Structure 1
Amino acid sequence: MAWVPLKGFLAKSGLRSGGAFGAASTHTSSALSDTEKLAMLDELEQSGLGWFWASDAQGNITYLSAAIADRIEVPLIEILGQPLSNMFVCADRDGRSKSLSLMLGAHKSFSGIAVRAEKRPEGAVLRLSGRPAFNGEKFAGFRGTGSDITDEFFREEETVRLAKYDSLTGLSNRYRMKHRIESTLTAFKAAKRNCAVMMLDLDKFKHVNDTLGHAAGDELLKQVADRLQRSLEVECEIGRLGGDEFQVMIPDKDDRGELGEIALKVITMLRQPYSLEEGRCVIGASIGIAIAPHDGVNADDVVRSADLALYAAKNGGRGQYRFFSGELENEALFRRRLEENLGVAVQEEQLFLKFEPMVSAEDGTVRALETHICWMHDQRGEIDEEEFALILDGSSQVVEVGTWAIREACRHAAQWPDTIRLAVNIPVALFAHDGFVDAVAEALEQADLAAHRLELEISEAVFFGDANAVDRTLAQLFKLGVRLTLDEFGSGYSSLAYLRRAPFDTIKIDEALVSEAEQHDSKELGLIRAIVALAGALEMDTIANGIETTEMFARLKECGVKHMQGPIFSDPVTSDVVETELVGELWKIAPSGDRMKRAKRRTVFRKIQVIHDDHSYEVTLRNLSRSGALIQGLSDVPKGTQFVVDLGGGQLAVATVIRTNGDTQGLEFEQSLVDDGSGGLCTRNRVSPYALASAGTPLAALSQGNYNAMQGGLLGQGAGSIPQFGYAAPTRHDAA
């Protein structure tokens, strides 16, 4: 049917002023004639305020306002005679609306359906309404109206998108992630499937915001989101929960070896340098990992477990991942108690200092010693300098502890040769304290220590505060005569303005920059050369921190760095060692590659269960490695005996005795252990809570107990077997 004006179509269809477009009754009086009514409808159609369409009984388009064809950019001649359901498709991207063909096939009125032209899926959006027309009892097709709702549709679509997605990064937002995790875990619980949740927090992001501005921080978050999406090459859902906190859900993944590799890849990618319009920066990331149903059955429990693991990763030194275990909650509580008890530790003299040598790159002579605070806790034992720094960072006792450290360090330094300087790291809270300068002056006076022998290491974070107060404090310190070091220079948010504002004597190159220079190309070395040149121009010394290899030492020396420190020279040592080394001639330390920075080891001298057949034995775990373990406590165990080693928390490792000596057996694991992200080891997989549930136990997260009571025995043997091995008499070491 060729297009005809609305007036002709109405006349031809016999509807005239009745039907879908006319008056409800021919008996209704009107001041307008039929001709005037049709003219008014023509004007309405041409104005765009009202559009019309019609179809025959087969659903083919018999009439369409020319304005509609123009709006959807499809020639009218290509539309007329075509099925309406072929020409238009529902505009709802999520597919929630019923299909147009189903509604037309029902021969019932409809309204408000949003459609797009099938040939122009990204074009205008129309809202169609229609009602069936009948010739007597016979269905004659549809008559309807349309309107352009493109702007309204996209506004609503954007509103819906913003309700689910983060407007800055385009990742899922907190609401969507919560809904996705809840719905996924509910479905996976019924299907007995696993699901991992990662909580990710950026390290040092706040410094970027504070130094380069919020615009730089926003751009950095966009780049982080992009790197996250590129580094996660598995099916997953990635979300930004707000600030610098991200969340990742990985379905059907419970292998902690694979999850650890994924986390390590993410951490490695995120700590690569970023280029922003405002400058170059380097940040890091910490990750906590929990797995459902092992670490929680419902969404709240799993996310809480991942949060605890993230907290542990950050407290463990940042830039690492950590799997959840039932011990973490106790660790978190214990750490909070430690923070609360710092004041008592100072009063009861539980704190003590260790000193790390700063060595001349030229001749290996120790020129200064940097102080580190440690804590001899009555329950925990020695808390080393790294862990103590993390405890102090979150404590309200920073000023009290920092003041004590300056006083105690000066007391020790007074006993050293005059050629040895003392370096003390100054927390931001202590620097900003009103009595800080007076405390430094008092410490020098009490120890009778020359001011130039005290070197205060100040990070760039102190400049985030009140500029006048900062400048006033720096001027007072300069007048006092102490040396000043700008700490962590080159960490990605350094500013030359700091060097102009403060009378620094030394620039300390950030450890992260040194690490990057060791692992990657020469760009970082070029930056280090530039820092050395800058320091030389300003008549300042340079010191590099965290040197671990002789190769890096040689490169930094070639760059012109004057002083260095790190494991290649010495770990922090006690005051007794310092006093012994400083007796007589100069203390010299040659760099040695044999000094490796040792990863922290978890205590392995503990009681565990080993299972043979279905009988469980309690033994002492003496040693643990990736490939095996050393146990003690059983006698008459022949080589070749197979055990299941229960390391707790659902961690079962099948092992074979490869050597035996009295009450001690060396075991070789069938499957190697993997890193747990914090310097320890764990099994790839754990006992499935679904398996425990099938044996009669309620479905729940794994406890920290042993798992030797599963129905039928862990090795599939029948119950009631007789123990084959006896317990050996405890040695004096065991009794300890």
Structure 2
Amino acid sequence: MFSSASSLSRLTDVFRSGRGGTDEAWSREAERALLLVREFEAQGSGWFWQTDRTGKLVYLSEKVARLFDHPDRPALGSELTDLFQIDSENPDSARTLGFHLNSRTAFANYSVHAIGQAGERWWSISGRPVTDAMGRFLGFAGNGSDLSEQRRSEAEITRLALFDSLTGLANRQRMRLSLDQILSDQHSYRTTALLLLDLDRFKAVNDTLGHQSGDALLNQVAQRLSRSVGDDGLVGRLGGDEFQVILPNEGNRDRISTLARRIIDSLSQPYSVSGSAITIGCSIGAAIAPDDGSDSETLIRNADLALYAAKGDGRGVHRFYLPEMLAGAQSRKQLEDDLREALRADQFHVVYQPVVSTEAAQIVGFEALLRWDHPKRGMISPVEFIPIAEDCGLIESIGEWVLRTACRDAANWPGNVRMAVNVSPIQFANPALPALVTNVLASTGLAPARLELEITESVFVEDSDAAEHRFRTLKALGVRLALDDFGTGYSSLGYLKKAPFDKIKIDQSFVRGAAVPGNRNAAIIRAIVMLADTLGMETTAEGLEVQDEIDLIRDLGCSHIQGYVYGKPMRAEEAARRLKEGGPLQPSGYRISRSPRVRMLRWARLSIGGEAGDVRIRNISRTGAMVDGIEFPDGAEGTDVLIELLENRMFPAKLRWAKDGRAGLQFEASFDLAQLSAQSAKRRIESEG
């Protein structure tokens, strides 16, 4: 076994022959040296080692030797290379210990670990050859220090730098490094899939239950996501409620779709957080390298565009990147820049759509509608630019401009005519809204009772106490409140209980087709009217375009009508002229209702004979739809297909015609268009999450 005293004695004997001087002087000097050595070894992390000319250890500090000593193989007498192995990953350790010992050259600060114990304990060692007065080689002498704690600290620093502190998943930096490494492998032409995930309705959890509950929820999401992906890929959290999955060597869209649906289904199951049952959702965008990008930046951008499309298609779905999405993003960015210029250059104007008394067929008010006449693109639909204005922070400035313009125009009209102005959820969430309304009424001279603020159900996504306080403050000003698009969202009856509305506006999705035989919309309208009458509220039926709908709405008891049947939106001058003429309005347009068609532009999955792809729906009715983005071979008419009209719900149809990349589909069964409106309303509500 190891003996500190005996080894030090042998160390003295080895070097004594190489020194001059008397034995007594040498003994005194050696004792002082040994005392200092023992003190250093006992108090610090450093230690010493010595070999003879044959390379065998003649001295090794006791605290290190104890780790290597075995009854049948003591540390002393072993060669240094029998005990230590150099760190091959250290760039400063290009040469092995054996090389230096054999070539008798010095080395410094080499990282080593015990042979067979890599990663358990690390040391840094240095050594130099020793010669006597005659220049004869006597062996090596050196020192070492324990690097284990330093290595652990470095490992922890690395972990903190590359892993998310909340969930333990890889963080944004590690995910980017991993993706860079995979894509930069020039010797591999294998595909790699990238999934970007965004949680739906997570913001509402933070706002209602607090950030501590939000963090607990994120931890559960991370666990479910990791289980869903398993060993197939690397899972990371980018920050907030954004996650990412890298799937190396994966390019099969069917397998990726299966995984995406599994993830969405798993993350959409109820959670239990702080005693509350919580349900959220998940949207996923996917891009596949190298087709969708051969570098990280391009691939991430395209996956993000696909995620944007998934959110736009109702959330809770996954979408693959398509080249058209990039063009759309570039168009949105250009539109955002143009919007800023439009506000500055006074390119907006307001038109007014009549609100007509059902019984007297006379105008009793107008709804202010924003229009944008682009200098190059012409008229741009609000459906296209309003969401962009909300995303880029312009909606409040634009909304204030519309409110001031509408109230100024209405102040010049007869005193019994009301003015309805839409308030976006972002505007409503601003505590300064009541002060703005007060200022506008004072500056324009419009009586508060003549202003009607139209608010959608999505305002209730914010904190209910704040919303109720805003309602009370606005009502105290004397203005009227109308609930817009009633019936398309969730918990509408609960909203009526909370907010002091003066009017309910019945969404056009319930009005259109209500006069078609067999349509259930008439029964829904009747129920809404009865509810409003009981609560002392007026009702406006929106979107009337056919004359036979007027009689139906009158019979169902609606107090007001709004729609093209009584005139399209008009400029302020024309509105003033129509008011001056007075008298009942004459309806226009079709006399008899037909199956309504809804124009749209949204992506959907189309399956033919087990093969699936993405198409765009151009318009849709109860009986069929027109799609584009797919080429059918000649003679394909009559082919059975499946099309995704609602999220994750495929509907059977037949191909009736195909030409120039467009096709007409006939549904096997009648499709209820109201489901699309409900889906759109759900989108708007969840977008606040």
TM-score interval for Structure 1 and Structure 2 normalised by the shorter chain = 0.5 to 0.7
SS in 1 for 2:265: helix
1:517 matched residue in structure 2: none
Question: Paired residue for 2:162, among 161, 164, 168?
Answer: 164
2:37 is the counterpart of 1:41: yes
Cα gap change, 1:252 to 1:353, in 2 (>3 Å): farther
Deviation, 1:176, is 3.0
1:666-677 equivalent positions in 2, closer than 5 A? none
Distance 1:114 1:320 in 2: 52
1:626 aligns with 2:623: no
Q: Does 1:261 align with 2:258?
A: yes
Asked whether the equivalents of residues 64 and 80 of structure 1 are also in contact (C-alpha less than 8 Å), the reply is no
Q: Could you give the per-residue CA deviations for residues 602-661 of structure 1, whole angstroms, max 9, x where no partner exists?
A: 599xxxxxxxxxxxxxxxxxx9753499xxxxxxxxxxxxxxxxx97xx9x8x77665xx
Q: 1:173/1:408 Cα in 2 relative to 1: closer, same or farther (>3 Å)?
A: same
- Unaligned runs of at least 5 residues, structure 1: 355-370, 412-420, 488-505, 515-527, 549-561, 564-571, 589-594, 605-622, 630-646, 660-664, 682-727
Displacement after TM superposition at 1:396 (Å)? 0.6
Return the alpha-carbon distance in structure 1 between the equivalents of residues 16 and 229 of structure 2.
63
TM-score (norm 1): 0.54
1:342-392, CA deviations, whole angstroms, 9 ceiling, x for partnerless residues?
Answer: 8699944579799xxxxxxxxxxxxxxxx9989899979996969955664
Between structures 1 and 2, the one with greater helix share: 2
Return closer, same or farther for 1:298/1:397 CA change in 2, 3 Å cut-off. same
Deviations 1:546-571 (A, max 9, x none): 999xxxxxxxxxxxxx99xxxxxxxx
Aligned partner letter, 2:426:
P
* In structure 1, distance between residues paired with 2:19 and 2:489: 87
Q: Highest Rg: 1 or 2?
A: 2
Distance 1:169-1:129 versus aligned 2 partners, 3 A rule: farther
Change (3 A) 1:539 1:196: closer
Aligned counterpart for 2:308 among listed residues 307, 311, 316: 311
For 1:724, the equivalent position in structure 2 comes to none
Quote the Cα distance in structure 1 between the aligned partners of 2:650 and 2:294. Answer: 26
User: Do the aligned partners of 1:195 and 1:253 also contact (CA within 8 Å) in 2?
Assistant: yes
TM-score, length of structure 2 as denominator length: 0.58
Give the letter aligned to residue 438 of structure 1.
T
5+ residue gaps, structure 2: 356-366, 411-419, 511-530, 533-540, 560-594, 613-627, 652-658, 665-689
- Cα distance between partner residues in 2 of 1:385 and 1:267: 28
Q: Please give the residue correspondences for 1:182-331 in structure 2 after superposition, counting only pairs within 5 Å.
A: 182-187=180-185, 189-233=186-230, 235-277=232-274, 281-331=278-328
Query: Following the alignment from structure 2 to structure 1, what is the Cα–Cα distance between the partners of residues 470 and 301?
Result: 43
Aligned to 1:361: none
Distance 1:404 1:100, change over 3 A: closer
Distance 1:335 1:349, change over 3 A: farther
Please point out which of 62, 71, 77 is paired with 1:66: 62
Tell me the residue number matched to 1:438: 438
CA distance in 2, matches of 1:603, 1:249: 24
- Who is 1:584 aligned against? 555
Show CA shifts across 1:477-520 (max 9, x none). 24246788999xxxxxxxxxxxxxxxxxx9x9984xx8xxxxxx
SS for the counterpart of 1:167 is coil
Aligned in 2, Cα 1:311/1:535: closer, same or farther, shift over 3 Å?
Answer: closer
Task: Tell me what 1:427 maps to.
Answer: 426
Aligned residue number for residue 74 of structure 2: 80
Q: 1:310 to 1:347 in 2, by over 3 A?
A: same
- Asked whether 1:52 is paired with 2:48, we answer yes
SS of aligned partner of 2:250: coil
- Which residue, 144, 147, 153 being the options, matches 1:146? 144
Q: How does 1:698-709 map to 2 (within 5 A)?
A: none
Kept after mapping to 2: 8 A contact 1:428/1:462: no
Describe the SS at the equivalent of 1:107.
Answer: helix
Query: Structure 1: how far apart are the matches of 2:252 and 2:402?
Result: 47
C-alpha spacing 1:337/1:75, structure 2 compared with 1 (3 Å): same
Q: Deviations over 1:652-688 (max 9, x none)?
A: x8x77665xxxxx56689xx9999999999xxxxxxx
- The yes-or-no answer on 1:333 pairing with 2:318 is no
Query: What SS does the corresponding residue of 1:322 show, helix, strand or coil?
Result: strand
Distance 2:315 2:378 in 1: 21
Distance 1:603 1:3 in 2: 77
Distance verdict in 2 for CA 1:316–1:39, change over 3 Å:
same
Cα separation, 1, equivalents of 2:153 and 2:277: 37
Offset of residue 453 of structure 1: 11
Q: How far is 1:583 from its partner?
A: 0.4
Q: 1:312 to 1:195 in 2, by over 3 A?
A: same
> Could you tell me whether the CA contact under 8 Å between 2:85 and 2:114 is conserved in 1?
yes
Identity percentage over the alignment? 28
State the alpha-carbon separation in 1 of the partners of residues 442 and 252 from structure 2.
57
Distance 2:114 2:270 in 1: 47
Aligned to 1:524: none
Q: Output one character per residue of 1:119-148: Cα deviation in whole Å (capped at 9) or x when no partner.
A: 877755433334567999999876543323
CA contact (8 A) 2:207 2:463 kept: no
